[in-house]
Structure 1
């Protein structure tokens, strides 16, 4: 089995940037060797609303849908979706001051990027 290197970022929901409090809501995984770029996300509305009562859950889901559009390269991702895969990952991992923020870039090796993404979602998001 071929071991493939990959990079990933955890997508954090950060409603109040000034407080630096967040909950993990997704993972973006990029494997250059297979041109694989995907996001897996899960919004636990009860947990988020308990932690951030004023948070607009629909806006969070819409932002995550945008991330998914960038990954798959369709119209949901706007102009960023038309870039090559490596640039799309670069766009998604770039720091920003919005309600969704990427964490630091991490890496690893896997034989199956899609299965690794699901594993990371379970481990890091729940």
Structure 2
């Protein structure tokens, strides 16, 4: 307890740290062309992990008309379900949130690839995820 005349302790900042990565579809890995299709966000302090996905299939097909959209949808849905902890996704979905996030953002040479991990601060992780999706995935 502070003594007389002492300053009160600083108020806790309402913002919590979070990490996020952009999820990209790379239709032909050898060409390196990619389309941002979603964002995964993890906020340890609030126990939040989620992936929001909005693939623009026309843009993807413009890069590779023979792209198997069903396979892309399946891969993206698996990522979303892993974040949600869906037991049907096996062992990885049962991991703690931090490990699931680490699994989703691990570098991959497959058709769906994460960006490097970025950090930010927010009071509402779901709102931050929506803002990131609007800024980084949806057409301008």
TM-score, scaled to structure 2:
0.86
Unaligned runs of 5+ in 1: none
1:19 to 31, 50, 56: 31
Size of the aligned set, in residue pairs, is 126
2:101 to 78, 89, 96: 89
4+ long deviations beyond 2 Å: 75-78
Quick check: 31-40 or 11-20, which moved more? 11-20
Distance 2:58 2:97 in 1: 34
Query: Which structure has the bigger radius of gyration?
Result: 2
Matched position secondary structure for 2:90: helix
Are 2:52 and 1:30 equivalent residues in the alignment?
no
Bigger helix share: 1
TM-score, scaled to structure 1:
0.95
Distance 2:18 2:89 in 1: 22
Unaligned runs of 5+ in 2: 1-12
* 1:20 Cα deviation after fit: 1.2
Give the conservation status (yes or no) of the 8 Å contact 1:67–1:77: no
